[in-house]
């Protein structure tokens, strides 16, 4: 299995009509199915793709074409043990997401003081 720094998107696709008319379990099943597909083989395939694209990285970079997109990206860091990290200076007092200059981004960071979730929308 892969271990290291990697970001991989689990994409689920549906129409607004289906999301509104079908039970919530429909959306849950879509999301869980997408996450299950992010296995070792998928991650290695992504790594191979990026390796092949190194000659022209602009092709895989995020561009202005994603601006005003109806897509929503939800990222959960809720289970990451960020507040347990210690690089020699003690544990962090704050951990948050990077500045993301694109709309449709949602990050759920872990909380330092409570198990509750906090969402950040961009």
- DSSP letters spanning 71-88: --EEEE-TTS-GGG--SS
Among 11, 26, 61, residue at a domain's last position: 61
Does residue 105 share a domain with residue 67? Answer: yes
Does residue 39 share a domain with residue 91? Answer: no
Does residue 56 share a domain with residue 74? Answer: no
Q: How many domains does the chain have?
A: 2
| Per-residue pLDDT tens digits for 1-47 | 445 566 677 788 898 899 999 999 999 999 899 888 888 888 888 77
> Which residue, 60, 72, 59, 57, is CA-closest to 102?
72
Does residue 68 share a domain with residue 19? Answer: no
Q: Are 82 and 118 in contact (CB under 8 A)?
A: no
| Structure tokens belonging to residue 78 | 């809720």
Does residue 122 share a domain with residue 86? Answer: yes
Domain that holds residue 44: 1-61
30-39, 51-60, 91-100: the lowest-pLDDT one:
51-60
| Structure tokens belonging to residue 96 | 């948050």
Of 66 and 101, the structure prediction assigns the larger pLDDT to 101
């Amino acid at each position: 299995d892969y271990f290291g720094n990697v970001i991989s998107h689990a994409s689920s696709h549906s129409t607004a009509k289906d999301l509104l008319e079908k039970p919530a379990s429909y959306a849950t099943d879509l999301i869980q199915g997408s996450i299950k597909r992010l296995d070792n083989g998928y991650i290695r395939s992504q790594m191979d793709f990026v390796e092949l694209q190194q000659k022209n990285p602009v092709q895989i970079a995020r561009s202005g074409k994603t601006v005003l997109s109806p897509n929503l990206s939800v990222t959960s860091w809720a289970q990451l043990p960020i507040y347990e990290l210690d690089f020699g200076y003690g544990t962090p007092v704050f951990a948050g997401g990077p500045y993301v200059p694109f709309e449709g981004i949602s990050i759920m960071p872990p909380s330092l003081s409570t198990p509750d979730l906090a969402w950040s929308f961009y």
